[in-house]
Amino acid sequence: MKTLLILLIVTTCLFACRQQHVPVLVTQEPDYEKAQSFLHIKNDSAFYYYNKVVGTLVDSIQIAQVYNLMAALQADAGDYYGSQENLLMSLRYLNEQNERHVYCLSSDYNELGNTSLNLKNYDAAIHYYDLALKYARNDTLKQTLLNNKGLVYQKEGNYMQAIAIYDSIIHKKNLDPMGYARVLSNLARTKWLRNTGYRAAPELLTALQIRIQEKDDWGQNASYAHLSDYYMATHPDSALLYAGKMYNVARQLNSPGDEAEALQKLIQLAPAHTVKPYFTRYQYLNDSIQTARNKDKNQFALIRYDVAKNKMENLQLQKENADKKVQIIQQRILIYGVILLMVAGLFTAIGWYRKRKQRIIREEKLKNSRKVHDVVANGLHRIMSELQYQPVIEKEKLLDKIDNLYNKSRDLSYEKPPVYEEGFQTEIIQLLASFQTDAIHIMTVGNNEHLWENIADDTKEHVKLILQELLVNMKKHSDARNVAVRFEQTDGQIFMQYTDDGVGLPAEHTPGNGLKNTVSRIKNMNGRITFDSDPKKGLKVRISFPIVYIP
């Protein structure tokens, strides 16, 4: 069943992004054509060429489409967080006011709904499906989106809401036979889940008959699964029959996920003396699926790294060629510059000597101000956020947090090393969770124990306070609904990327103490920070620093 859902995801993505008023397919790009030729045959190669071509495109709708296709391939491989990252990239290139973009907007939000459903984040899935419906212009696509939304309500146990959605679809006059069978089967299954006494067999069998007539193998696979579940408690022999049919169809479709599901049913229903071959096959299949998914996830990450590395090497080569052409001019400028620097240095030394004491005083005040802002102000804001959005607050934990904040405020004048009793990975998770609300969804990628093993404690504290400052600014000023934080270790560096879909930084923005402190901390860590802000696309902050840092 999971493989069927993934196939529907990819089909919807391809259908939605191509139903444009103006054709947008990238037919003149060789790398794009190569990617298309590998699609559904060797998906890692397709991903490689999509990722390669996306950096050469100019048309925003083409860029969005390629990111959408890459996300679908990642979802197919079970890399849901990587898929969400590429979908957010796709959304950055789309304009809801442009009618050419609405189909890809609908497809992106549908895919975000599907990944959220697979991650069992049901509230987020409903939110994204509603956004997808907002931009859907095709009746068939709308019916697919409503069916997906009904599936979410079914999964979370809200059967009445799911039934209401299926009832609204099934009476549509323009519903094709395969669509009708799908909705009928889902509706009957939902009614049965709500009331196990409901006679769902006639509707389930009707849906199966339509799918057989339409030669819908994937639909038959789903019907056999529903019928096996339905008869399991009351007619085990019938349940066993349909589980066997599902197993045969899944093998014909070469769908390991559905084959594994059918084997689970057979192991449960078959006579004891016939179970062993099913169990052996299930163990082998389950291990193969997990191995393949892990391999695909790593392969996608390596592909993106290799393409980015090649682009950087090409840019470096171009820069070296350009440097050779201006070398003589630079040498002359250097000579004149040295003379000017010597003159300026004389005057600067005099001024520096006079202002030295004043600068030391200002730096000390700035250092104390930064401590107060990061430790006390942002700490209080984090506690207030938890009080505001968490339905239940344990008094003892709250008192511990306030006492911890009090002790930190008393120790501001001392340089005490931080202590993370539960591990720094957990510290980051708790920090992000304290800012997540019903309206703000926060995703994180790459935060694991191995990442932080060689990082100095002082650097970890800097990272925590920097991330806390970004989240506080997001909460106060950005109106963001989605936040993504990604960590990555590459070539002796830690790369951290913060992204939100808020209003970004104002054009005439003057950094306050918080952002100034953030920039100062990055410099102290021998790192780099860049801000990429757009009022329509949100804010992106890239940070990098060495893995081993001695303060």
Please give the pLDDT value at position 19: 37
* Domain-located, residue 185: no
Sheet strands (E) in 149-279: none
Domain that residue 149 falls in: 1-158
Residues ≥6 apart with Cβ < 8 Å to 545: 459, 493, 494, 522, 525, 526, 527, 528
Mean pLDDT of the chain: 79
Please give the pLDDT value at position 113: 93
Total domain count, the chain: 2
* Domain-located, residue 334: no
Domain of 78, CATH number, reads 1.25.40.10
* Domain-located, residue 231: no
Give the side-chain half-sphere CA count within 13 A for 184. 24
Domain of 391, CATH number, reads 3.30.565.10
**pTM (2 decimals)?**
0.51
* Domain-located, residue 105: yes
Phi-psi region of 492 (alpha: psi -120 to 50; beta: other; left: phi over 0): left
* Domain-located, residue 514: yes
In this structure, the number of other CB atoms found within 10 A of the CB of residue 61 comes to: 20
In this structure, the number of other CB atoms found within 10 A of the CB of residue 296 comes to: 20
Q: Report, as ranges of residue numbers, the positions in the chain whose pLDDT lies below 50.
A: 1-24, 26, 305, 307, 309-311, 313-315, 550-551
Sheet holding 441-445, edge to edge: 441-445, 482-490, 493-500, 538-546, 528-534
* Domain-located, residue 219: no
* Domain-located, residue 13: yes
Of 158, 186, 217, the last residue of a domain is 158
Cα angle 407-410-412, degrees, rounded to a multiple of 5: 110
Please give the pLDDT value at position 497: 94
- Say how far apart CA 111 and CA 114 lie, in whole Å: 5
* Domain-located, residue 373: yes
Of 158, 192, 217, the last residue of a domain is 158
Please give the pLDDT value at position 297: 52
Please give the pLDDT value at position 131: 94
Burial letters 451-472, b for 16+ CB under 10 A, else e: bbeebbebbbbbbbbbbbbbbb
Of 123, 158, 193, the last residue of a domain is 158
